[in-house]
Amino acid sequence: MTQTLLRGRLLSFLRAPQSLTDTESYRYEDDGGLLMQNGEIVASGPYAEVKARASADAAEIDHRPHLIMPGFIDMHLHFPQMQVIASYAANLLEWLNTYTFPEECRFVESAHAQRIATHFYDELIRHGTTTAVAYCSVHKTSADAFFSEAMKRNMRMVGGKVMMDRNAPQGLLDTPQMGYDETRQIIADWHGKGRNHVAITPRFAITSTPAQMEASQALAREFPDLHIQTHLSENHDEIKFTCELYPEAVDYTDIYARYGLLGNKTLFGHCIHLSDREADAMSEAGSVAVHCPTSNLFLGSGLFPLKALARRDKPVRIGVATDIGGGSSYSMLRTMDEAYKIQQLLGERLNPLESYYLMTLGNALSLSLADKIGTLDNGTDADVVVLNAAATPAMALKMEVVKTLPEELFLLQTMGDDRAIVETYVAGIAFKSTI
Ligand SMILES: [Zn+2]
């Protein structure tokens, strides 16, 4: 198979940056080369050295002066909500009942699910996202469309059919047995096929009966390597209603713990209003709190204490995500801009190195997939994004006075969107320019 050699400025993280001057936390090559073959990165480093290792017939693409980074990872979004985004609602529960649930009912039709899946992957690629963790609808047809389209594009995706058997319209309800059976079938059909990962996906405790939570627990026991994804502590009304439904639990987190769903592969969307006890429990279990800043602001859910959770004696693992369609942008750059502003409102600083770490290696570690994605290391998937910090006239003007890498990253995060994504490579293939 032929090789592809990219030339440009390379940036890849080695660990979480401790400060803006923590140059040991990342690898940066001003004139870098990245060699890809058979969907993997086979060499990266100074251009001259990598060029010397490349075969004579390697295709070479010169991306100078742009920045080459690992593809972005989005840890939480809803594939059936592409036509829910930008819906005007007072809060989470009104937004769900008025817009989201009726829209998700349409995914019982496979033609609709397939059409939206095509748009979904186009939008991810347009925004430089190469791996995403998604909720499908309750219908198996939606999961089939989601995974077949991922396979067609050879993307590394995580997803699952939501299980929900109460507090939603009839067209969106399964039963404990049906949710269990269909999830098992989706695992058999799709998990490990191509680069697909199936996640066990009880939507949240409000829409699952105790019997369905038990079915989720049974799946988690049978398939301990699978991710589990659900929602936790997003909004005060939601928390109150959930705790009324499970009066035996001491708090919202304890509901999931009681059903064996609090583990180190569990991804909890939001986690805005956790008590100390809940944060301790999450930390001890190694569960991940997934921060969805544009969604939290859009729905008025609250300010996620990212820095406070990360620096606890018992730190909580953190991921970052768009939460489409509660979220308002597919862009991880826009997402981290809003994450920055939320920390500002909390009197905290989120520096740009941390932001780009979180979008790449940080999220890969939170997914336990850092051996595959999130860096430019040899032997990992050749999922790569090329960024242009002078993509618009206003950005180009600001770039004239930018002097350091962190300043450039901060400009990209503050003003950038899909226009700043020059190219997105999926398993070594340039995709953005084809859509
Ligand atoms: Zn969500």
- How many Å lie between the centroid of ligand 1 and the Cα of residue 55? 45
Give the pair of three-digit tokens for residue 10. 């390379």
Q: CA-CA-CA-CA torsion for 357, 387, 69, 124, nearest 10 degrees?
A: 80
pLDDT for 260: 98
Residue 155 CB partners (closer than 8 Å, separation 6+): 121, 124, 130, 131, 195, 383, 426, 427
- How many Å lie between the centroid of ligand 1 and the Cα of residue 138? 14
- How many Å lie between the centroid of ligand 1 and the Cα of residue 76? 6
- How many Å lie between the centroid of ligand 1 and the Cα of residue 337? 19
Distance CA 333, CA 139 (A): 31
- How many Å lie between the centroid of ligand 1 and the Cα of residue 57? 46
In eight-state DSSP terms, residue 203 is -
Distance CA 109, CA 351 (A): 44
- How many Å lie between the centroid of ligand 1 and the Cα of residue 239? 15
Dihedral sign for Cα 3, 4, 10, 14, please. negative
- How many Å lie between the centroid of ligand 1 and the Cα of residue 207? 13
Q: Give the Cβ contact number of residue 271 at 10 Å.
A: 27
Length of the chain: 435
Distance CA 44, CA 274 (A): 41
- How many Å lie between the centroid of ligand 1 and the Cα of residue 136? 11
Distance CA 408, CA 398 (A): 9
- How many Å lie between the centroid of ligand 1 and the Cα of residue 171? 19
- How many Å lie between the centroid of ligand 1 and the Cα of residue 139? 17
- How many Å lie between the centroid of ligand 1 and the Cα of residue 78? 6
- How many Å lie between the centroid of ligand 1 and the Cα of residue 232? 9
- How many Å lie between the centroid of ligand 1 and the Cα of residue 2? 40
- How many Å lie between the centroid of ligand 1 and the Cα of residue 190? 22
- How many Å lie between the centroid of ligand 1 and the Cα of residue 231? 6
- How many Å lie between the centroid of ligand 1 and the Cα of residue 23? 34
- How many Å lie between the centroid of ligand 1 and the Cα of residue 365? 20
The three-state secondary structure class of 377 is coil
pLDDT for 1: 65
- How many Å lie between the centroid of ligand 1 and the Cα of residue 378? 33
Give the pair of three-digit tokens for residue 71. 């593809």
Q: What is the pLDDT along the chain (435 residues), one digit of tens a residue?
A: 699 999 999 999 999 999 999 999 999 999 999 999 999 999 999 999 999 999 999 999 999 999 999 999 999 999 999 999 999 988 888 999 999 999 999 999 999 999 999 999 999 999 999 999 999 999 999 999 999 999 999 999 999 999 999 999 999 999 999 999 999 999 999 999 999 999 999 999 999 999 999 999 999 999 999 999 999 999 999 999 999 999 999 999 999 999 999 999 999 999 999 999 999 999 999 999 999 999 999 999 999 999 999 999 999 999 999 999 999 999 999 999 999 999 999 999 999 999 999 999 999 999 999 999 999 999 999 999 999 999 999 999 999 999 999 999 999 999 999 999 999 999 999 999 888
- How many Å lie between the centroid of ligand 1 and the Cα of residue 230? 8
- How many Å lie between the centroid of ligand 1 and the Cα of residue 257? 19
Distances (CA, A) of 170 to 92, 135, 138, 144, 163: 20, 19, 11, 21, 13
- How many Å lie between the centroid of ligand 1 and the Cα of residue 269? 6
Strand 429-430 versus strand 421-426 pairing type: antiparallel
- How many Å lie between the centroid of ligand 1 and the Cα of residue 62? 38
- How many Å lie between the centroid of ligand 1 and the Cα of residue 36? 34
- How many Å lie between the centroid of ligand 1 and the Cα of residue 106? 18
Give the pair of three-digit tokens for residue 287. 């569960």
